[in-house]
Amino acid sequence: HSTIYKRKTNKYQTEHRQYTSRVSGALFHCVISEGKPLKDEDVLHQLPVGTTATFYFRDLGSQISWRTVFLTECIGPLFIYLMFYFRVPFIYAPKYDFTTSKHWVVHLACLCHSFHYVKRILETLFVHRFCQGTMPLRNIFKNCLYYWCFAVWMAYYINHPLYTPPYYGEQQVKTALGIFVFCQLGSFSIHITLRNLKPPGSKTKKIPYPTKNPFTWIFALVSCPNYTYEVGSWLGFTVMTQCVPVAFFTIVGFIQMTMWAKGKHRSYLREFKEYPTLRSPILPFVL
């Protein structure tokens, strides 16, 4: 769908046609240097303006759906990792083509890694409800570069013929597997809770609260427990594989998710006066 809007200047009036997903509108009272972008659900006659107001429209550039970006960034690591796991030609020495590792932790790691991304793909298709329909097209290249490159780096070392199992052996692997599974279940529970928070098509924001599901009780202390569980999953995967690239991926991911969590936490505090003050953005009582 497209929309037509008009922009007035001192000498002439021009008409532009743009796709609605590319257009950002801002409302100005009198003459102000900057304005806050309007929401899609804002109604013109309900806006807090007087007899005159000026609308400014900005072309946001080429857009792509959030769902497409999520699917692309998840499908890539899934298949990339499997290529290294099955040791397809031209990755390792020719004598290792299509061979399998003798270490059971390598097979377990492949199962966990695949499960994580299959879960994310299914959640993107059937669970997530996106408040904003699109994002800039350039994001798909940035996101894919991040996830795909890290997948190559991790998979290369974990599935390498010379890979060395964790120092503490079976005990370390089983403990890490428990952490990984626990956090994956927690992540899924939080996503279901957020989905049920508002009906389809609604953009009304609500405060998420703990439910009868024990995995959601962390909402009492954390604003974004989906990020908490995500970091926990990769922490478990790091301990399980005892691999430096995985640890680096976990640290970078934690930094990025902390930034997102802090932004979401500030948004909650700004929009809801009754928002629980005991909550932290991502780590209870810490961060």
Answer whether residue 3 shows pLDDT above 50.
no
Answer whether residue 131 shows pLDDT above 80.
no
Task: Return the ∠ at Cα 15 (arms to 14 and 16), rounded to 5°.
Answer: 125
Confidence band of 14 (pLDDT split at 50, 70, 90): very low
Cα separation, 103 vs 108, in Å, equals 9
How many residues does the structure list for the chain?
Answer: 287
Say which DSSP state 214 is in: G
Percentage with pLDDT > 70 across the chain: 77
Phi, psi values for residue 189, rounded to 5°: -65, -40
The answer to whether 26 and 38 have CB atoms below 8 angstroms apart is yes
Q: Does residue 212 sit in helix, strand or coil?
A: coil
Please return the burial class of 207, using the count of CB atoms within 10 Å of its CB with bins 0-12, 13-18 and 19+.
Answer: middle
Answer whether residue 107 shows pLDDT above 70.
yes
The answer to whether 85 and 110 have CB atoms below 8 angstroms apart is yes
In one letter, which amino acid is 23?
A: V
The answer to whether 121 and 74 have CB atoms below 8 angstroms apart is yes
Q: At CB < 8 A and 24+ separation, what contacts does 34-43 make?
A: 39/203, 40/203, 41/203
**How confident is the model over 87-103, as pLDDT tens digits?**
999 999 999 999 999 99
Answer whether residue 57 shows pLDDT above 90.
no
Position with higher pLDDT, 140 vs 186: 186
The confidence score (pLDDT) of residue 53 equals: 65
Sequential DSSP letters for 37-101: BPPTT--GGGSS--S--EEEEEE--SEEEHHHHHHHHHHHHHHHHHHHHTT-TTSS-GGGTT---
Sign of CA dihedral 240, 241, 243, 245: negative
**How confident is the model over 218-254, as pLDDT tens digits?**
999 999 999 999 999 999 999 999 999 999 999 999 9
Position with higher pLDDT, 39 vs 286: 286
Closest CA to 230 of 261, 272, 273, 194: 261
- Cβ within 8 Å of residue 133, ≥6 positions away: 21, 65, 66
**How confident is the model over 21-45, as pLDDT tens digits?**
555 544 444 444 445 666 666 666 6
Alpha helix stretches (DSSP H) within 102-137: 104-126
- The pTM (predicted TM-score) of the whole model is 0.82
**How confident is the model over 63-79, as pLDDT tens digits?**
888 889 999 999 999 99
The confidence score (pLDDT) of residue 137 equals: 83
The confidence score (pLDDT) of residue 45 equals: 65
* Residue 214 CA neighbour count, 13 Å, CB half: 3
